[in-house]
Structure 1
């Protein structure tokens, strides 16, 4: 069963309270450039308290 071309899915693996986390994103077109600075900026914004609550500071 394939993934529809207009849908992204992800899988995560790692320790619940450990230092490492792995994420696999499925459905991303081959050759797509991913700007890690944009991702890091969004993660920093969430850690700053924007969103649900204090638990997000662990992301």
Structure 2
């Protein structure tokens, strides 16, 4: 089983954030729309505090 690992750097509450994804197959296209959709789903996840409903990623 492959493990997907992500590393972040930058300004968590600022205009710039860098993400490095490890474990994706080489050449797999990932669009900003797909990332935005997944971040939206995460915001609705179990155990999230009320801030998650109004903070934008």
Q: CA separation of 1:42/1:27 partners in 2, compared to 1, >3 Å: closer, same or farther?
A: closer
SS, match of residue 58 in structure 1: coil
Partner of 1:19: 15
State the Cα RMSD in Å.
2.3
Structure (1 or 2) with the larger CA radius of gyration:
1
Partner of 1:34: 30
Q: Structure 2 CA distance, aligned partners of 1:16 and 1:39?
A: 16
Partner of 1:58: 56
How many residues are paired up? 53
Large movers: runs of 4+ above 4 Å: none
After superposition, the C-alpha distances for 1:4-27 in whole angstroms (9 at most, x for unaligned) are x61110100012432211100011
